[in-house]
């Protein structure tokens, strides 16, 4: 485990500690000033009460871990991303684009024991903090790869049943993922019945660009699902030519998954059904800007291969 330089912050009410990838004996005052004025360039940890948070800057946290339940998905958007289980309860291979605090990586590793998982992270400092977030060691079915996510999916390798894109910087979705080529490579790397899951985060004005590029590759074979409380919208895109939704089967699957994991999968099915109906009622000529605005306005109301 890497050694972190700690600064205890004078916040009232609860103990708050800043943890930085800096040598012991560093100047605490100078580092705190750089964090506050946003000139500190490495990710850092803030430990507050029973939570450990990963930050890229002081404006917002990128990941949250409960110290009492380190494997629980604390943030609503991460639980919403797990709705891919409605369409594939036992994926053989999952590719995670963006490691962050490892919430999704840990949860998939612990709850899907037959699944091989690869997490790709471009920032070596994020990887250096993996032990702080209880991310498992690399083994025969789990590994963390230091690479650019867009470059990684462009390479030839084993097809993935599920690709989860949660690569965000301080402004939102990583710029490397805002190209048609990226979505083409994602489509190519999916199995025939594969699911691509994208966390739409950050500046909503930038979401239109992402959805337009994704639509140019996946067509209308996608659905959106707002994450309760977080303000994020999760997008699920399907590779197969036509997706026929068996709503009774989905509802039954939702009930089973809710019992198994404790998430509100039944609400997910209800929101997916609403999005599916609305999307098919819209004229095909509708402007993509209007479409994404409608999608984002919805609020929640209730392994033999060497490459994993």
The pair of structure tokens assigned to 295 is 């999608």
C-alpha torsion sign, points 20, 22, 26, 30: negative
Maximum Cα–Cα distance for the chain, whole Å? 63
Report d(CA 254, CA 260) in Å as an integer.
Answer: 10
Determine which helix (DSSP H) or strand (DSSP E) holds 36, and give its type and residue range.
Answer: helix 28-36
Rg (CA), the chain: 20
Q: Does the active-site annotation cover 203?
A: no
The CA distance from 42 to 282, in Å, is 45
Residue 198 makes CB contacts below 8 A (sequence gap 6+) with 165, 173, 210, 214, 234, 235, 237
Question: Of the listed 57, 161, 166, 185, which one is catalytic?
Answer: 166
Return the active site residues.
166
């Amino acid at each position: 485990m890497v050694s972190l330089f700690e600064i205890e912050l004078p916040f009232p009410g609860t103990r708050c500690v800043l943890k930085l990838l800096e040598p012991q004996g560093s100047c605490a005052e100078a580092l705190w000033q750089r964090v506050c004025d946003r000139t500190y360039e490495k990710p850092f940890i803030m430990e507050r009460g029973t939570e450990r948070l990963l930050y890229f800057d002081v404006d917002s946290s990128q990941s949250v871990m409960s110290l009492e339940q380190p494997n629980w998905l604390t943030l609503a958007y991460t639980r919403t991303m797990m709705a891919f289980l409605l369409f594939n309860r036992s994926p053989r291979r999952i590719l995670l684009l963006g490691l962050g605090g490892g919430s999704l990586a840990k949860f998939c590793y612990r709850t899907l024991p037959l699944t091989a998982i690869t997490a790709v992270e471009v920032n070596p400092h994020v990887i250096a903090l993996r032990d702080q977030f209880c991310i498992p060691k690399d083994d025969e079915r789990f590994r963390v790869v230091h690479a650019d996510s867009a470059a990684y999916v462009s390479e030839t390798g084993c097809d993935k049943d599920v690709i989860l894109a949660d690569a965000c910087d301080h402004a939102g979705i990583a710029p490397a993922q805002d190209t048609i080529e990226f979505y083409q490579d994602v489509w190519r790397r999916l199995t025939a019945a594969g699911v691509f899951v994208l966390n739409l985060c950050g500046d909503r004005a930038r979401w239109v660009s992402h959805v337009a590029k994704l639509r140019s590759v996946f067509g209308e074979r996608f659905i959106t699902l707002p994450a309760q409380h977080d303000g994020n919208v999760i997008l699920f895109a399907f590779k197969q030519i036509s997706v026929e939704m068996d709503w009774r089967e989905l509802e039954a699957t939702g009930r089973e998954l809710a019992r198994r994991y404790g998430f509100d999968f039944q609400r997910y099915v209800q929101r997916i059904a609403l999005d599916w109906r609305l999307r098919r009622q819209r004229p095909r000529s509708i402007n993509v800007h209007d479409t994404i605005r409608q999608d984002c306005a919805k609020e929640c109301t209730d392994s033999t291969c060497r490459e994993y």
